Structure 1
Amino acid sequence: MRIIVERSATIDLPLHDGHAPKWLVEMMKQLAHEISYIIINEYGTEEFLLRISDPLWFQSLGCVLGYDWHSSGVTTVVTGVLKTVLNNEDLGIIVAGGKGAISRKAPDEILEYSKKINLDNPEKYVKISRIVAKVDNTLIQSGHTLYHHTIFIDEKGNWAVIQQGMNVEELKARRYHWLSKNLKSFVNEPHNAIIGEPVKLKVLNMVARESEECRKVCLDIVNENPVKLKRMIKESMRGPLDRWLFNEEIKHYEMPWDMDWKIFEKLYELKPKKFEELVEFQGVGPKTIRALALVSEIIFGTPASWRDPVKFSFAHGGKDGVPYPIDKKVYRQTIEIFKDAIIRSKLNHDSKMFALKRLSKIDIL
């Protein structure tokens, strides 16, 4: 059955517990090496980072390499394969991180692999890796917890991050794409793309452009005396019943009851001047941000955004979901690039036929 990508298509991304068979992983490594080599040599490392930051290009790559189009495993397996290929070759890109416990090794791996490409100031990318993970785990509260984080860095200092969160209750995953090119802020519309299940009605979205004033208020709040802040938080949890019954925004805050008040004391001592500093501070998590957003709304009348930032959604063509405005011409060019890379590669005949057959299953209506 052909995989159809339509203008109104979505791609459902269920969580899969299985592992790719060893023979398939080896085949994927061969294909990934040839495709990466040709793209980097033809277009450069920056273009390669740009391509993997396109969710549909990335999904197509996973399909060409032999993985299921709609599987959440595409993220973990494809990034793992690319990590092996790029770190073992002199192609000008290093890859750090991965799934689960390996994701927490990203800082050490950045410092280690940076020597290979003579990367200036590798500590800078350790900081980038950490704040990108913190943003998606803390500032976007959709019920998805990060379990995968991979950062790609080229010799010129350009970078891309691909990370994924899971919602265990819904058995759905959500993938976040970041790209250094044109990135102006880590806390204001920073993503290149977010892809996941159909858009949710209510997601606390502190990186939304509409949350700018709320972010400013939150920063002001943590610079207040913790005693006063504690009083404001408790006050925001009281008040007339109709405030909660008729205000849909407020009802979704679900104020956390087990607050770590020591965090606010430490923040008061730090006196962060930028919202980014607040987010980076160790111990600041989803509960802290949620409480601050509630105080901003209730006490100061400055609400956060509840717009789900998902821009693209997974699924086989025809299902209802978030529209993805595909540029058919550009996407056909992408397919041709894959086809050209496969044909020109040094793969044996059977491997080429395998990849071309996978590629033929993707069509644009």
Structure 2
Amino acid sequence: MRRGLAELPLHTGKAPPWLFARMTRLARAIIEIIIGEYGTDEFLKRIADPVWFQSLGCVLGFDWHSSGVTTTVTGALKEGLKELEVELGIFIAGGKGKTSRKTPEEIQIKTQKFGLDPNPLIYASRMSAKVDSSALQDGYQIYHHTFFGTKDGKWAVVQQGMNPATRWARRYHWLSWDITDFVVEPHKAIVCNHKTSPLNLVAKESEDTRTISVKLTNEKPEKVVRELKRIKELVLPSHHPIYASDINPKRIEKILLATYENPPPDFASLLIRPGIGPKTLRALALISEITYGAKPSFFDPVSFSFAHGGKDGYPYPINQNDYDQSIAILEKAIKQAKIGRTEQLQALKRLALWLT
């Protein structure tokens, strides 16, 4: 197991065509075996496992420690499996940049192959993106979103954010059957080597903040904005974690007018509303804390580093049994994949190097 702390720097380039073509072919061969042997649930489970995902990236031959492993691996899977979706019982939507914004449209089209209602899956896609872009304000801007669905209506999401200032990336994994509430600790895993002190509105400890935020959207907008202006004029401690310098009260008032006319019943309904973004939620959280005493959480839910648990098990040590099982499944799939003997040996060699 690699013990050194693996960094994930932002890389702006992309895999050369010859490498991506090879990755696509190998990804298709490996996933065919995994779904044939273990089923679509196991496929989703592994995609949502950050260790297995990173191992797959290494096996496919991409630079395992760069941010590009996320976009390239998901891209290779999408391209490699697009002609086999009905046969395998899965579909993949989304991608990087502009492609990510087409995810709902792709889900709409691809679910027709399986006779699925697309709306719950489109909602899941939008909510996972909204949580990681607005409700968990960790400084990483989401620029990549890939949605994996099955014929049974189950799903997983792999998305990535970047922090241009630090030039680091953070990857978020979601798995449908692990979620009981989209706005209460919904992640399967979050991978990054750098912890922060984010405004974490999906932590259990932020329940009061969520409740009061919804109540504030039911108040007359001018009343809420008046309170916001008062708070902005206060001299808050320089170390106060919620900053208000970039919050425009006039802009917030326009947004709150829409929520006042059609009040959201709960925080999830508030979060999914068009126009509700990080600044609005930050303003509501600030009022909730300063005026009503409801302190939000600033806990960073990062669960893995980009190495296997990182140096000395930081952020968290990996369950050895889960790790061994993940690697065994991948190793078996490589050995059974319909690829040339040389390519097979090279893939196993890359996996062995990743493990040492």
TM over 0.5: yes
Task: Give the percent of matched residue pairs that are identical in Structure 1 and Structure 2.
Answer: 49
Aligned to 1:215: 210
Aligned to 2:194: 198
TM-superposed deviation, 1:359: 0.9
Q: Aligned-residue CA RMSD in angstroms?
A: 1.8
Asked if residue 257 in structure 1 is aligned to residue 253 in structure 2, the reply is: no
Instruction: State the alpha-carbon separation in 2 of the partners of residues 182 and 257 from structure 1.
Output: 35
Structure 2 alignment gaps of length 5 or more: none
Aligned to 2:169: 173
What amino acid maps onto 2:106 in structure 1?
E
TM-superposed deviation, 1:257: 3.3
Structure 1 alignment gaps of length 5 or more: none
Q: Do the aligned partners of 1:54 and 1:177 also contact (CA within 8 Å) in 2?
A: yes
Aligned to 2:107: 110
Instruction: State the alpha-carbon separation in 1 of the partners of residues 344 and 38 from structure 2.
Output: 22
Aligned to 1:184: 180
CA shift in 2, pair 1:318/1:125, >3 Å: closer
Aligned to 1:17: 12
Greater mean alpha carbon deviation, residues 23-32 or residues 288-297: 23-32
CA shift in 2, pair 1:20/1:269, >3 Å: same
Q: Which residue, 51, 54, 78 being the options, matches 2:73?
A: 78
Instruction: State the alpha-carbon separation in 2 of the partners of residues 316 and 92 from structure 1.
Output: 31
Instruction: State the alpha-carbon separation in 2 of the partners of residues 142 and 358 from structure 1.
Output: 33
Q: Which consecutive aligned stretches of 4+ in structure 1 deviate over 4 angstroms post-superposition?
A: 315-321
What amino acid maps onto 1:92 in structure 2?
G
Q: Do the aligned partners of 1:204 and 1:306 also contact (CA within 8 Å) in 2?
A: yes
Q: Which has the higher contact order (CA 8 A, sep 6+)?
A: 1
Q: Which residue, 59, 62, 66 being the options, matches 1:64?
A: 59
Instruction: State the alpha-carbon separation in 1 of the partners of residues 246 and 80 from structure 2.
Output: 44
Aligned to 2:132: 136
Count of matched residue pairs: 352
Instruction: State the alpha-carbon separation in 1 of the partners of residues 307 and 352 from structure 2.
Output: 18
Instruction: State the alpha-carbon separation in 1 of the partners of residues 55 and 155 from structure 2.
Output: 21
Instruction: State the alpha-carbon separation in 1 of the partners of residues 135 and 310 from structure 2.
Output: 32
CA shift in 2, pair 1:272/1:316, >3 Å: closer
3-state SS in 2 of match to 1:189: coil
CA shift in 2, pair 1:78/1:230, >3 Å: same
Asked if residue 326 in structure 1 is aligned to residue 322 in structure 2, the reply is: no
Aligned to 1:100: 97
3-state SS in 1 of match to 2:173: strand
Asked if residue 26 in structure 1 is aligned to residue 9 in structure 2, the reply is: no
Greater mean alpha carbon deviation, residues 74-83 or residues 311-320: 311-320
What amino acid maps onto 1:348 in structure 2?
G
Q: Do the aligned partners of 2:232 and 2:244 also contact (CA within 8 Å) in 1?
A: no
What amino acid maps onto 1:238 in structure 2?
E
Greater mean alpha carbon deviation, residues 312-321 or residues 274-283: 312-321
Greater mean alpha carbon deviation, residues 294-303 or residues 328-337: 328-337
- What TM-score, normalized by structure 1, do the two folds share? 0.92
Instruction: State the alpha-carbon separation in 2 of the partners of residues 255 and 308 from structure 1.
Output: 22
Instruction: State the alpha-carbon separation in 2 of the partners of residues 88 and 127 from structure 1.
Output: 25
Aligned to 2:348: 356
Q: Do the aligned partners of 1:232 and 1:295 also contact (CA within 8 Å) in 2?
A: yes
For residues 311-354 of structure 1, give each alpha carbon's deviation from its aligned partner in whole angstroms, at most 9, with x where no partner exists: 11224886578333212233223222222211112101221122
Aligned to 1:123: 119
3-state SS in 1 of match to 2:233: coil
